[in-house]
A and B are shown apart, each in its own frame.
Chain A
Amino acid sequence: MPRMTSRLIIAAALVATAGCAKKRPDVLPPAPPSTPPAATPTPTPPPPQTGVVPGSKADFEQSVVSDTIHFDTDAYNVDPQSQQILDSQATWLKKYPNVHITVEGHCDERGTREYNLALGDRRANAAANYLIAQGVDSSRITTISYGKERPIALGDTPQDWAQNRRAVTVVLN
């Protein structure tokens, strides 16, 4: 039963992110128990092309390479793959100059509580600073660190931790 649920969720996630998730880790997280994560984009099927409002959250998620970049253990540098993702975000954000965003910084669970809050702040700021350097006005960006409080992958393997070390760009409606 858990296995079947897990397959269904993976299938749903693949549909949701088809064509835009170049940097997804190989292994997807096990099925979340019930409701979807509150602090991350919900993996609902994409709305039909025609229904997307330009400049909206849905438009952002369809238009960019990904809303998420990942980091190595204890690191907060933006690597070339992440730069591509943030470039696509910056391009979209410059097209809609009235849109505000929050960049969330997250860590894996293999760190102590307070250190992870600080590390999550570093990661959120690293992503935000990159966007600013690409020409996005800093007044449009807020950052928030969740430390290890809001993982998306539930397991405790290195693959789970790799998914959880991330910065997520969230469009504010």
Chain B
Amino acid sequence: MPTRLWTRIARLILAPLALLLFHQAAFAQVEVNVVGGASAPTPIAVPAMPTDTPVNTAAGPTDQLGRQLAQVISDDLKNSGLFRPLSPDVLRPVSFQQVSAPTFDYWSTTGAQALVQGFVKANSDGTLTVGCYLYDVFAQNELQRQGFVVSPGEWRRAAHKCADMVYTRMTGDGPYFDSRIVYVSETGPKTHRIKRLAIMDQDGANHRFLTNGQSIVLTPRFAPNQQTIVYMSYANKQPSIHVYNLGSGHSRELVSGRHLTFGPVVSPDGRWVLFSMAIGGNTDLYRIPIGGGTPQRLTNSPGIDTGGSYSPDGSRIAFESDRSGTQQVYIMNADGSNQHRISFGSGRYGTPAWSPRGDLIAYTHIGANFRIGVMKPDGSGQRLLTDSWQDEGPSWAPNGRVIVFQRTPRGSGLPQIWTVDLTGQYEHHIPTPLGGSDPDWGPLRK
């Protein structure tokens, strides 16, 4: 894997040392308010990153890469809904020398509150170094800097890391741009739709298909190791759970036997796969070691128990059940004990997804429309974030502040991949080559 080439360094660029010091009081004014959600996006300038000497690399000349890096960073920040990057015509070229000594007098006239500068440099060993600097334009000082060494093929990851640094420093929330989404690509008429597993960066770049479309595939989910994906496949007309290895491209069936198995998720410690199995018309939740073995039954109700999702510490499981008569969200301990209902309200509740921060559970609310909502793990504080014809299947970004889901506009018959932030005020469509459903947002990349 190309990941090997990534040297995993958030290596600090050491020169010039003097500028590393910054003053807490001076940048308080550029903090981004993410709590109220009502504040306007923060204006930010992300000019093209200069290079010391233009050099041709496997990913193109470094001066061109400098422009592309700035664009990716700018798009990440814009798509978070919390930043408003200045338009390119306002951006003035930055020289290599100015990267660590910005012309604050100019930037303060642009309306930008924050400034992201950086450089790209080709190293003799074929790698690239990307420097990333964040400045407070009003206080005229540096807030943070980081450097990244990447193989040319992974230059976008350097941009995402830089955007993550800016986002984290200014919002106080965790990073999420350097992450991937696995989902089901859809094409063809509804009656015989072709479905393929696909993986992409969270911004839709580096898209690739993982299966060939010969069998229906559904509900892929990342394991914490980021190399394993569990999903459901109709291969050989025997719908069951499979385990896909991203490194080798190979799949294996996880649960043998003739029963329908579906809805897999991997436990946070990576040891178990929680899934649903239907026997004679009755669906319950089970778990099985990820290497295979004997399923252990966790629920035993005559209703449909499915849609399991682990709490981030692995101690509890949110799931949906219609044992009360309609689909509702329940919680139980990881061993199946202490099952109790948490969703009460009008309509039905399905597809619970526990936030990686642990504080909220996202769900699909089924009323006249299908909408994405969040509630606390005790069922209180329910808030609907979206309102569209059919929004379904939420999955959390690694920082627990953004949710990816599938949206099917009425009359289209073809789902798309969308995100919504926790305020519900900012939605974003992630571009995919074909239709897209069942998105799962993977962990922050290592």
Binding site for B on A (CB under 8 A): 32-40, 74, 76, 109-115, 117-119, 121-122, 124-126, 129, 142, 144-145, 147, 149-152, 154, 156
For residue A83, give the distance in angstroms from its CB to the closest CB of chain B: 17
**Interface assignment of B248: CB less than 8 Å from any CB of chain A:** no
With both beta carbons as reference points, the residue of chain B lying nearest to A151 in the complex is identified as B190
Name the CB-closest residue of B to A29. B191
A114 touches B364 (CB 8 A): no
Instruction: Mark contacts of B189-209 with chain A using CB atoms, 8 A cut-off: 1 yes-contact digit, 0 otherwise.
Output: 111110100000000000000
Decide if B304 touches A154 in the complex (CB within 8 Å).
no
With A125-B281, A149-B193 in contact, do A112 and B304 touch (Cβ < 8 Å)? no
Query: Using Cβ atoms and an 8 Å threshold, which residues of chain A touch B190?
Result: 151, 154
Looking at the assembled complex, report how far the CB atom of B317 sits from the nearest CB atom of chain A, in whole angstroms: 14
B411 touches A (CB below 8 Å): yes
In the complex, which range does the number of interface residues on chain B fall in? 35 or more
Query: How far is the CB of B234 from the nearest CB of chain A, in Å?
Result: 8
Given contacts A151-B190, A156-B413, are A121 and B278 in contact (CB under 8 A)? yes
Interface residue from B191, B304, B410, B411 paired with A122 (Cβ < 8 Å)? B304
Tell me whether A149 and B216 are in contact in the complex, defined as CB-CB below 8 angstroms, given that A32-B191, A118-B306 are known contacts.
Answer: yes
Q: A112-B366, A112-B392, A118-B304 in contact; A33/B278 too (CB < 8 A)?
A: no
* Closest A residue, CB atoms, query B218: A113
Bound-state Cα–Cα, A154 to B282, Å: 29
Q: Which residues of A contact B218 (CB under 8 A)?
A: 113, 117, 147, 149
Residues in chain B near residue A114, CB distance under 8 A: 219, 262-263, 276, 306-307, 320, 350-351
18 A-B contacts (beta carbon < 8 Å):
A37-B191, A109-B390, A111-B366, A112-B393, A113-B393, A113-B438, A115-B304, A117-B218, A117-B262, A118-B276, A118-B278, A122-B278, A122-B281, A122-B304, A125-B281, A145-B260, A149-B195, A149-B218
The answer to whether B283 has its CB under 8 Å from any CB of chain A is: yes
The interface residues of chain B lying within 8 Å CB-to-CB of A156 are 410-411, 413
A6–chain B nearest beta-carbon distance, Å? 14
Give bound CA distance, A149 to B330, whole Å.
Answer: 26
Interface residues of B (CB under 8 A from A): 189-193, 195, 216, 218-219, 237, 239, 258, 260, 262-263, 276, 278, 280-283, 304, 306-307, 320, 322, 326-327, 350-351, 364, 366, 370, 390, 392-393, 408, 410-411, 413, 437-438
With a CB–CB cut-off of 8 A, which chain A residues contact B370?
110, 112
Residues A119 and B304 in contact, CB atoms below 8 Å apart: yes
Q: In chain A, what residue has the closest Cβ to B364?
A: A112
Expressed in whole angstroms, the Cα–Cα distance for A31 and B192 within the complex equals: 14
Within 8 Å by CB of B192, from A35, A125, A144, A145, lies A35
| B438 / chain A contacts, CB cutoff of 8 Å | 113
Bound complex: CA of A152 vs CA of B237, how far in Å? Answer: 19
* B interface, over-half SS: strand
The residue that A121 contacts in the complex, of B281, B322, B366, B408, with Cβ under 8 A, is B281
Q: Chain B residue with minimal CB distance to A112?
A: B350
In the complex, which residues of chain B have a beta carbon less than 8 angstroms from the beta carbon of A151?
190-191
A110 to B304, CA, bound (A): 17
Residue on B nearest A145 in the bound complex, by CB: B260
- B327 contacts across to A, CB distance below 8 A: 112, 115
- Minimum CB–CB distance from B229 to chain A (whole Å) comes to 16
Q: Which residues of A contact B192 (CB under 8 A)?
A: 35, 37-39, 150
Q: Could you say which of A36, A110, A126, A144 contacts B281, with CB atoms under 8 Å apart? A: A126
Residues of A within 8 A of B322 (CB): 115
A115 touches B350 (CB 8 A): yes
Q: Which residues of B contact A109 (CB under 8 A)?
A: 390, 408
Question: For the complex, what is the distance from the CA of A109 to the CA of B263, rounded to whole Å?
Answer: 17
A113 to B413: give the CA distance in the assembly, Å: 15
For A129, list chain B residues within 8 Å (CB).
281
Which B residues lie within 8 Å of A142 (CB)?
258
Q: In the complex, which residues of chain B have a beta carbon less than 8 angstroms from the beta carbon of A113?
A: 218-219, 351, 392-393, 437-438
Residues on the A chain within 8 Å of B281, using CB? 76, 121-122, 124-126, 129
Looking across the interface, which residue of chain B has its beta carbon closest to that of A117?
A: B262
- What separation, in Å, do the CA atoms of A142 and B238 have in the docked complex? 11
Contact B393–A145 (Cβ < 8 Å) = no
Interchain CB contact (< 8 A) of A33 among B189, B195, B262, B408: B189
Q: How far is the CA of A166 from the CA of B216 in the complex (A)?
A: 19
C-alpha gap A142/B327 in the complex (Å):
27
Nearest CB of A to B213, in Å: 13
Known: A121-B283, A126-B281, A149-B218. A115 touches B320 (CB 8 A): yes
**Which residue on A lies nearest to B305, using beta carbons?**
A118
Asked if residues A112 and B260 are in contact (CB atoms below 8 Å), the reply is no
Q: Are A154's CB and B237's CB within 8 A?
A: no
